[in-house]
């Protein structure tokens, strides 16, 4: 669970990144969850967009994806949301995001 100070810090970082996944009309598959989980391991902070033809709202997609990947929802705005999960990968620990 993120504190409000940590969430604000991550919102600021997340505003500068581009979405790397799109959730469309198909459901959130196990393959997509695996790819998102791998991206979270590599980057810790990712942005995902939800297309207009999706069966999910942005909030629903964020909650489902966060639950399945073990991540925290940082922000949901419009058709985009930001997820954060601290990496457990030893190789990437030197480059990880240090939360206040």
* pLDDT tens for each residue of 23-78: 999 889 999 999 999 999 989 999 999 999 999 999 999 999 999 999 999 999 99
Tokens 């902070």 map to which residue? 45
Q: Is residue 13 part of a domain?
A: yes
Tokens 């998102």 map to which residue? 36
Q: Is residue 39 part of a domain?
A: yes
Are 73 and 58 in contact, with CB atoms under 8 Å apart?
A: no
61-74: burial string, b at 16+ Cβ within 10 Å, e else: bbeebbeebebbbb
The answer to whether residue 1 scores a pLDDT higher than 90 is: no
Q: Can you tell me the distance from the alpha carbon of 85 to that of 53, in angstroms, rounded to the nearest whole number?
A: 27
Show the domain range for 10.
Answer: 4-87
Are 16 and 10 in contact, with CB atoms under 8 Å apart?
A: no
Number of domains in the chain: 1
């Amino acid at each position: 669970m993120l504190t409000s100070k940590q969430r604000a810090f991550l919102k600021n970082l997340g505003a500068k990144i581009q979405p790397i996944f799109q959730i469309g009309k198909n459901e959130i598959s196990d393959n997509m969850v695996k790819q998102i989980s791998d991206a979270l391991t590599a980057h810790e902070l990712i942005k995902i967009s939800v297309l207009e033809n999706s069966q999910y709202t942005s909030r629903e997609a964020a909650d489902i994806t966060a639950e399945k990947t073990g991540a925290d929802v940082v922000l949901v705005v419009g058709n985009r949301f930001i997820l954060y999960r601290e990496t457990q990968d030893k190789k990437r620990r030197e480059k990880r995001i240090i939360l206040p």
